[in-house]
Amino acid sequence: MSTSKTIKSALISVFHKDGLAPIVQKLNELNVTIYSTGGTEKFIKELGIDVVPVEDVTSYPSILGGRVKTLHPKVFGGILNRQDHEGDVAEMKEYNIPQLDLVIVDLYPFEKTVASGAPEQDIVEKIDIGGISLIRASAKNFKDTFTVSSMEQYDEFLEILSDNNGKTTIAQRKKFAAKSFNVSSHYDTAIFNYFNEDEIVFKASETTSKVLRYGENPHQKGYFFGDLDAMFDKLHGKELSYNNLLDVDAAVNLMNEFTGEDPTFAVLKHNNACGFAQRNTIKQAYLDALAGDPVSAFGGVLIANTEIDAETAEEIHKLFCEVVIAPSYSDEALATLKGKKNRVLLVQKTTNLPNQNVRTALNGLLVQDKDAITDTLEDLTYVTNTKPSEEEIKDLLFASKICKHTKSNTIVFTKNNQLLASGTGQTSRVDALNQAIEKANNFGFDLNGAVMASDAFFPFPDCVEIADKAGIKSVIQPGGSIKDQLSIDYCNTNNISMVMTGTRHFKH
């Protein structure tokens, strides 16, 4: 039997009618018999096109408030019969089952209903039963039946109809079957995740994807699965790369710690802040952030927590940077920043980020809750005789926020709401500390009066001793070492204040 099939009959039952009319009209031109139900049947009739109600085939009306319309052997027999199977052909004739060559279904909008905050009763009613069954049945029988399972497929399907006068190939039917199982599996994943409270199961489905230029390196393929348009309005520049996206993710998560605060600016490189400052104006915040490490800032990602104005844009324009992110830009700032054709300019939208981190490991996945704890004044335990001043406490909490978003092992120095230096991703805390001291010295920062944050406890007093000799007089750390007292004793002997938060912030 030929693998080419001519569509002679179609079952259409959709929730959304947008874009459906041209398909129905084309099917009518091709003399295709159309079966339908409910609102879709009414829609087709209003187009002036003949339609056979499914009730006329099944001899059953739509019942149970519309919950049961197409769930009937005459419908599913018409979809699932094998046209080259002698027994199926005989039973189709015996039971007077109409052949259905095409199924067009658009599922109830379950995810949108959940996102709207609707009550559970409304959400449950948006769990499609007949539609999902029709999709699975017709996709299973792709050798004989064509399945259109989403309104996003309408344009492509209409092109196939128009180009081939209603004929479809086995390759086309199989391709659309794959699309259909993608739709159905995504739908079921969303339903499971809504209901699941107790099962420790990881199910995720992202249907929006983007092919990147390459991965971390040019010889690696790279993809992004997610909806960047929901996160940002891209105003200018080249396509974001794999590495850009990692830096943008780090930048957004860091700056979220400072939402609604005074003008704040960060410069990131390789997922770490190399410059950070909070000031009265966004221009000064940028200048002081840049001063933290103007060398690393080259080719970095910049982010602000408030609008970037013309004066700030003039300063940014002097720097080669890959990406600039802000909640908004003045018209003059945009005109300046667009002066570099490849510079990516993003407007960050207000949106919810995932509450879990996921990464591959070995032959599986590691999944964890996001580190949603931000150290606050109420979390501090004052463990030394010398207590930090009010200004030092502000700097300690400021440093702690930055430290939380810096690769472990890390040490962060801040003073007057400015990042002076950090040691990032080192194999020992002492190495991280020495790296931070060296960077601060290289860029001319005086560490006297600065504070130090550590992402994890000090197992020995060596770190506070090295920091003391560099000029640090106040420290914030989680505590928790069996040798905490050794560090406390050193601080007491040398008039250093130390506070503990009780929360470790490793970031590997």
Tens of pLDDT, residue by residue over 346-367, are 999 998 899 999 999 999 999 9
- Residue 340's CB is within 10 A of a number of other CB atoms, namely 17
Q: From the centroid of its chain, how far is CA 161?
A: 36
In the residue annotation, 140 being an active-site residue is answered as yes
pLDDT at 481 over 70: yes
The tens digit of pLDDT for each residue in 90-146 reads: 988 888 889 999 999 999 999 999 999 999 999 999 998 889 999 999 999 999 999
pLDDT band at residue 2 under the 50/70/90 scheme = low
pLDDT at 212 over 70: yes
Tokens representing residue 6 in the block? 């001519």
Tokens representing residue 141 in the block? 């029988």
**pLDDT for the residue 441:** 96
C-beta of residue 384 within 8 angstroms of C-beta of residue 493: no
pLDDT at 402 over 50: yes
- Residue 241's CB is within 10 A of a number of other CB atoms, namely 19
Higher local confidence (pLDDT), 273 or 201 = 273
The tens digit of pLDDT for each residue in 35-47 reads: 998 889 999 999 9
The tens digit of pLDDT for each residue in 78-91 reads: 898 988 888 888 98
Nearest CA to 173 among 144, 202, 153, 132?
A: 144
Nearest CA to 55 among 419, 234, 41?
A: 41
Tokens representing residue 204 in the block? 């995720």
Q: What is the mean pLDDT of residues 308-319?
A: 97
What's the burial of 351, exposed, middle or buried (CB within 10 Å: 0-12/13-18/19+)? exposed
In the residue annotation, 349 being an active-site residue is answered as no
pLDDT at 344 over 70: yes
Annotated active-site residue in 126, 167, 174, 270? 270
The tens digit of pLDDT for each residue in 405-459 reads: 999 999 999 999 999 999 999 999 999 999 999 999 999 999 999 999 999 999 9
**pLDDT for the residue 263:** 98
Residues 6+ apart with CB under 8 A from 404: 257, 371, 374, 375, 455, 505, 507
**pLDDT for the residue 317:** 97
pLDDT at 1 over 70: no
Query: pLDDT > 70: what percent of the chain?
Result: 100
**pLDDT for the residue 96:** 86
Annotated active-site residue in 140, 186, 210, 236? 140
**Complete DSSP assignment for 101-112:** -EEEEE---HHH
C-beta of residue 12 within 8 angstroms of C-beta of residue 20: yes
**pLDDT for the residue 93:** 87
The tens digit of pLDDT for each residue in 53-79 reads: 888 887 777 777 777 777 788 888 889
Integer Cα distance of 23 and 1 in angstroms: 27
The tens digit of pLDDT for each residue in 189-202 reads: 999 999 998 888 88
**Complete DSSP assignment for 366-431:** EEEE-------GGG-EE-SSSPPPHHHHHHHHHHHHHHHTSPSS-EEEESSSBEEEEE-S-SSHHH
Residues 6+ apart with CB under 8 A from 172: 146, 160
pLDDT band at residue 383 under the 50/70/90 scheme = very high
Q: What is the mean pLDDT of residues 281-305?
A: 97
Across all residues in the chain, what is the average pLDDT?
94
